[in-house]
Amino acid sequence: MFIVIYATFIFIILRFAVTLFNFISDPKLRRVNRNYDNLVSILIPARNEEKNILSLLGSIARQDYGNYEVIILDDDSSDSTYDICADFSTKHPAFRVIKGKELTGQWLGKNYACYQLAKQAKGEFLLFLDADEQIYDGLINSAVHRMHFRKLALLSLFTNQQMKTFGEWLTVPLMHYLLLNLLPLRLVYLAKNPAVAAASGQFMLFDAEIYREYEWHKNSKDKIVEDVEIMKQVKARGFNGESLLANGMISCRMYTGYATAVNGFGKNFLAAFNYNIFSFLIFLLLLITGPMIVIMTLNFQLILMMIGLILLTRIMISLESGQNATLNVVLHPLQMFSMALIAFSAIQKYLTKTTVWKGRKI
């Protein structure tokens, strides 16, 4: 038991140190006053998104960047996604919608959709967005500035998350929680090692010339977590990549309830650990079981120290990600339970090869 307690505290202190670094370094996309006019191709893969797509398209049409084109690819939707986009495009000349080709070979659906979209784009920058997002003034101009300023081949943003149900609050905050207390986000740009990589497919902005040469999505055609894989490839080729927090300029409602969130996170949870179940279970042991064992010691000083570090960690991460700190602190135990549920669901689906997303087996 002593070894577990010792390891748990080392784990908690290291994660607290990473969180503190992220909080102090504040890795957010900054708004800029300088205006740019580079042509930006906004590329949106969409499969059965009739409930979400109009909110995104409307937010793009209302934003303050002038020189852009929007291409939506309907990825074999069984709902009204294509018709909705086609109707919107007739009223907005900068928008158009295309039908995706049939999925073939080793391609995964979203990766193939993004590859097809890039083939249609004319812009100097290629911006891939998910259909369940909304963008706001300042986003595109600030992102283009960052591409020029850092000489980036890829800029990825972790979007602000919209949560409207209790089930979403039990699951969605885990994304920023894991990200910001396991990885110093500034190192994605500063460290040249490709292993130091993080990215979010919810916002991927590419230098179009470099993209067309290396066709990043084609090189990641069969990867479930293609965003991180692409960032690794970008850095391995000697280019600059950067991942930042969106700073309120783009938001996303990833899921609409508890069941869809558990299923959605479960499809790529193991991929972050390179599908090494043993290391994954050790992580869960230290994250969830370790604190429970510390509480069982009834040592007030140890318990108080542990709780203090965890609370400070949750508060800093909540403030950085634009979430309700009080709610995340209160719900922390239930969120840890949700994490365990997601983890074991992911393991079960991986071992039985029954992972399914949007009607397709992965």
Q: Say which residues have a Cβ less than 8 Å from residue 31's Cβ, sequence separation at least 6.
A: 138, 142, 247, 249
Mean pLDDT of 198-203: 95
Strands (E), the chain: 40-46, 68-74, 95-99, 125-129, 133-135, 152-158, 160-161, 203-207, 240-245, 250-252, 356-357, 360-361
- What's residue 360's pLDDT? 60
Q: 34 lies in a domain?
A: no
More confident site: 357 or 102: 102
Nearest residue to 231 (alpha-carbon basis) of 216, 244, 246, 218: 216
Maximum Cα interatomic distance, the chain, rounded to a whole number of Å:
68
- What's residue 358's pLDDT? 64
Residue 361 reports pLDDT greater than 70:
no
What is the span of the domain harbouring residue 307? 2-25+267-349
- What's residue 347's pLDDT? 86
- What's residue 286's pLDDT? 84
Domain boundary among 240, 258, 276: 258
Q: 361 lies in a domain?
A: no
Residues 70 and 140 in one domain: yes
Predicted confidence band at 356 (pLDDT cuts at 50, 70, 90)?
low
> Over the stretch 305-327, which tens digit does the pLDDT of each residue have?
999 999 999 999 999 999 999 99
Q: 157 lies in a domain?
A: yes
Nearest residue to 176 (alpha-carbon basis) of 8, 300, 23: 23
Q: 30 lies in a domain?
A: no
- What's residue 281's pLDDT? 86
Residue found under tokens 């992965």: 362
- How many structural domains compose the chain? 2
Mean pLDDT of 217-227: 91
Residues 181 and 326 in one domain: no
- What's residue 297's pLDDT? 83
Predicted confidence band at 225 (pLDDT cuts at 50, 70, 90)?
confident
- 185 — phi, psi (to 5°)? -60, -30
Q: Strand 133-135: give its sheet, edge to edge.
A: 133-135, 250-252, 160-161
pTM of the shown model: 0.93
Beta 133-135 vs 125-129: how paired, if at all? unpaired
Domain boundary among 225, 258, 291: 258
